[in-house]
């Protein structure tokens, strides 16, 4: 049995109509999860600020690693910690 990941739910849920005979029963459509949103928000902070260094860094991302670090993994680890802290605060 696979572990389920608490992704925080939808980051920007929208109400859409449909799903019944009349087509008027609203349902939520998710889109991006809150986990994905947090990871995307933190990812730029993991890249070097200097444009030349950033360019070399991004070129090194072709295999998913740079200097022994995996930026996407780090971004999701931070995002997961953000969700855990959010849950502690009752959100």
Domain ranges of the chain: 33-88
Give the other-Cβ count within 10 Å of 15's Cβ: 8
pLDDT at 5 over 60: yes
Model confidence, pTM? 0.63
pLDDT at 1: 45
- Nearest CA to 36 out of 13, 71, 61, 9 is that of 9
**What pLDDT was estimated at residue 68?**
47
For CA atoms 66, 69, 70, 74, the dihedral sign is negative
Mean pLDDT score across all residues of the chain? 76
Identify the residue whose tokens are 């991006």: 32
Please give the Cα distance from 37 to 7 (Å, whole number).
Answer: 10
Rounded Cα distance between 91 and 8, Å, is 10
């Amino acid at each position: 049995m696979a572990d389920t990941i608490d992704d925080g739910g939808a980051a920007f849920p929208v109400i859409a109509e449909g799903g019944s005979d009349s087509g008027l029963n609203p349902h939520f459509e998710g889109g991006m999860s809150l986990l994905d949103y947090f990871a995307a928000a933190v990812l730029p902070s993991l890249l070097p600020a200097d444009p030349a260094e950033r360019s070399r860094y991004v070129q090194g991302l072709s295999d998913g690693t740079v200097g022994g670090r995996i930026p996407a993994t780090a971004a999701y680890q931070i995002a997961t910690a953000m969700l855990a802290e959010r849950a502690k605060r009752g959100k």
